[in-house]
Amino acid sequence: MKKILLLIPVLIFVISGCSKTEDLISPYHFSIIPKVTNLKVDAIDTTQTGKRRIVMSWEMPDTSNLRFFEIYRSQKNPDNFKIIVSNYKDYVFADSVLPAITDSLRLFYLVYPIGTKTDVRTGTKVSFIGPPSDTLIVTVKKLK
């Protein structure tokens, strides 16, 4: 009978020893730096040297943690995006170094805001690449 009585606290100990699911940490990545908004084409024109040029602009809802922008371009979506400019601090960008145009050219642009976050291990400020903007699709026709 003593064995039964001993087994009851053992069972209670085993059951209570099973840990509960710990709550998730609060997400930080949503609040570090906001997404670039209102990315649009302002003009598709020609430079003084006769090259085709795309002028685009965008907005940022909050610039408190903004360091600069990185602009990416691709001829295919969503793959093969390549950086065309980094450390860019303005909100208007003119792309005049376009790939060769045979008849018409379709280009895709993305703008990434770059901010900072505190590194969890060292406690120092490190660079953080923010969320990409919506893809801007531009079609450029060759001048005749």
Partner 1 sequence: MKKFILFVLIFYMFNISYAQNNLNYTYQVYQEFRSNKSKKELFEIPKFNPRRITGLTYSVFVPGSGQIYLGHQTKGAAFAVTFFTGLVGAIVSQNNFIGNKERLETLQFDYLNADRYTLADYYWKQMVDVYNEQKMHERARNIFTAATVFVWSLNLIDYIFWTDDKGPIEFSYKTDNNFGNIFSIAIPLN
Closest approach of partner 1 to the CB of residue 92, in Å: 23
For partner 1, the closer CB: 29 or 106: 29
Closest approach of partner 1 to the CB of residue 4, in Å: 5
Closest approach of partner 1 to the CB of residue 17, in Å: 10
SS (H, E, C) the chain: CHHHHHHHHHHHHHHHHCCCCCCCCCCCCCCCCCCCEEEEEEEEEECCCCCEEEEEEEECCCCCCEEEEEEEEECCCCCCCEEEEEEECCCEEEECCCCCCCCEEEEEEEEEEEEEEECCCCCCEEEEECCCCCCEEEEEECCC
For partner 1, the closer CB: 92 or 126: 126
For partner 1, the closer CB: 27 or 50: 27
For partner 1, the closer CB: 15 or 100: 15
Which residues contact partner 1 (rule: CB under 8 A)? 3-4, 7, 11, 15, 18-22, 24-25, 27-29, 32-33, 119-121, 126-132
Closest approach of partner 1 to the CB of residue 70, in Å: 11
Distance CA 137, CA 116 (A): 29
